[in-house]
Amino acid sequence: MTTRKLSPLDRAFEQLDQAVRTVLGPPPPPSRPNPAGATPEHTMTDRERRHAAALMRVNHAGEIMAQGLYQGQALTARLETVREAMEQAAVEEFDHLAWCEDRLQELKDRPSRLGPVWYSGAFLLGAGAGLAGDRWSLGFVSETEAQVINHLEEHLGRLPPGDQRSRAIIEQMKIDEAHHGAEARAAGGLPLPPPARGLMALMSKVMTRTAYWI
């Protein structure tokens, strides 16, 4: 049996479907069990619960951006191997999106109301990185994942001590992001120049501070 190669129109419809699932939900069922598993839910004060939920809302918004980035990069990738790597990474990031959404529901809170903004902005960035060339695009993935890991480590330090369920999810996300970054470097990703890294860090800071509240 042969696999039909997707036409540009097929890919456009696939991108649209991914965007709708990402922004409007619900996301596809995760391919892996939730890392929180049977971890017990400890009692938190209302203030701690709201804070934990706000941190998970930021992580959920970050996963929406990850979908936009990978889908944009997949759309403009030159090599089929790079396109497939981006699409596979997006599938794995859907697990993170679903886990964060599950945790928000457990904490009786909501995702960011700016999901369409996060997705569309990230999609444009990803498409631009892809247009710059596959090695730059892979370097963009590597730098993105490095910054995401720093952000997740910060969240681990800010979570309420009793929130072990959120902690388990973030720990697994950190492992996955490190894997994606390592794969991008091994595939030939180029280090980004300092101005590009600085701009990415600034945009990440804007997103995290905004999504915490909105």
Q: What is the pLDDT of residue 3?
A: 41
HSE of 208 in the Cβ direction (CA atoms, 13 Å)? Answer: 15
Mean pLDDT calculated for residue range 203-213: 92
Mean pLDDT calculated for residue range 5-20: 59
Is the pLDDT confidence value at 168 over 70? yes
Spatial neighbors of 141 by CB under 8 A, at least 6 apart, are: 69, 70, 73, 86, 89, 180, 181, 184, 189
User: Which two tokens mark 129?
Assistant: 């990185």
Give me the residue spans of the domains in the chain: 43-213
Is the pLDDT confidence value at 68 over 70? yes
Backbone angles phi, psi at 32, to 5 degrees: -130, 155
Single pTM value for the model: 0.87
- Averaged confidence pLDDT in the chain: 86
Question: Percentage of the chain surpassing pLDDT 70?
Answer: 87
Q: Please give the single-letter amino acid code of residue 74.
A: A
Among 97, 92, 94, 118, smallest CA distance to 183 is for: 92
Look up the CATH number of domain 43-213. 1.20.1260.10
Among 31, 56, 65, smallest CA distance to 140 is for: 65
Whole-angstrom CA distances from 140 to 77, 171, 172, 180 are 13, 22, 22, 11
| Cα 102 to chain centroid, rounded | 15
- Summarize pLDDT for 33-60 with one digit per residue, the tens: 999 999 999 999 999 999 999 999 999 9
Q: What is the pLDDT of residue 8?
A: 57
Q: Please give the single-letter amino acid code of residue 166.
A: S
